């Protein structure tokens, strides 16, 4: 690995012993494996948003990726990747079950993905939040229809907030994931963030877990129905 440097007012100064976490995946071809670090250096300007920058090279496709570095709070000599250019795409494929059961969610989610991939990351978070509101609403209608307090009129009422709907979920895991997604989604719509350490990447991670839980619960119900028929 090439040495890192620290920026001072009078120029660039080399710093020995600095360490940085290797990307271990190409942002272009997505092949995993150690990437060659072409250069890396610390940043010390008053307008710098990150502690360092780094350029890496992929042995497979011979392409380069640029990385912004953050510094470890426990070990100031260790740096890790906070953001990469290009970003590693998360092309989450929705299952046929999710698409058929939650068509409105699927359409909004897919459109939000397109917006993010086109670099419209400042508005895609709002789209993901809207998608989850449709997901929770349709989940209540489809799977908790026996609850007399859940009606289509109540679901569609503008006075019924997403939080009201989440509190009706009868699965604590679904409730926790939906709440976390909503909090991040709300931050994506407001001028100031209440949770600045969480962004769209965490939001999508929670959405993926939410979808996995829904499919998990569906598989359990299928298994129970199979056993009861036998």
Average pLDDT over residues 87-105: 81
Q: Between 35 and 67, where is the model more confident? A: 67
Q: How far is CA 224 from the centre of its chain?
A: 33
For residue 88, name the pLDDT band (cuts at 50, 70, 90): low
Overall pTM > 0.85: no
Mean pLDDT taken over the chain: 82
pLDDT exceeds cutoff 60 at 7? no
pLDDT exceeds cutoff 80 at 24? no
Whose CA is closest to 3, among 28, 20, 24? 20
Q: Can you give the pLDDT at residue 128?
A: 94
Q: Between 27 and 141, where is the model more confident? A: 141
List of residues 6+ apart from 32 with CB closer than 8 A: 24, 25, 26
Q: Give 36-39 contacts, CB < 8 A, sequence gap 24+.
A: 37/1, 37/2, 38/2, 38/64, 39/2
pLDDT tens profile 140-171: 999 998 899 999 899 999 999 999 999 999 99
Whose CA is closest to 2, among 37, 54, 33, 51? 37
Find which of 17-31, 90-104, 180-194 is predicted with most confidence, using mean pLDDT: 180-194
CA dihedral sign, ordered 147, 152, 155, 160: negative
For residue 9, name the pLDDT band (cuts at 50, 70, 90): very low
Average pLDDT over residues 106-129: 86
pLDDT exceeds cutoff 70 at 28? yes
Q: What percent of the chain has pLDDT over 90?
A: 38
Distance CA 103, CA 20 (A): 43
pLDDT exceeds cutoff 60 at 15? no
């Amino acid at each position: 690995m090439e040495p890192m440097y620290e920026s001072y007012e009078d120029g660039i100064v080399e710093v020995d012993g600095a360490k940085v976490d290797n990307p271990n995946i190409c942002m272009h071809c997505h092949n995993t494996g150690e990437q060659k670090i072409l250069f890396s250096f610390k940043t010390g300007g008053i307008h710098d948003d990150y502690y360092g920058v780094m350029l890496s090279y992929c042995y497979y496709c011979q392409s380069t990726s640029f990385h912004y570095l953050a510094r470890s709070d426990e070990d100031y000599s260790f740096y890790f990747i906070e953001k990469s250019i290009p970003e590693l795409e998360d092309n989450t494929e929705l299952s046929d079950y999710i698409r058929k059961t939650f068509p409105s969610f699927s359409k909004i989610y897919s459109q939000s993905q397109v917006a993010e991939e086109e670099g419209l990351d400042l508005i895609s978070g709002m789209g993901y939040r809207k998608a989850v509101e449709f997901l929770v609403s349709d989940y209540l209608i489809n799977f908790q229809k026996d609850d007399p307090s859940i009606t289509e009129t109540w679901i569609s009422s503008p006075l019924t907030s997403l939080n009201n709907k989440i509190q009706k979920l009868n699965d604590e895991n679904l409730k926790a994931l939906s709440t976390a997604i909503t909090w991040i989604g709300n931050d994506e719509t407001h001028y100031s963030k209440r949770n600045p350490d969480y962004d769209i990447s965490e939001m999508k991670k929670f959405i993926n877990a939410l979808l996995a839980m829904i499919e998990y619960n569906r598989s359990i119900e299928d298994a129970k129905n199979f056993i009861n028929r036998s």
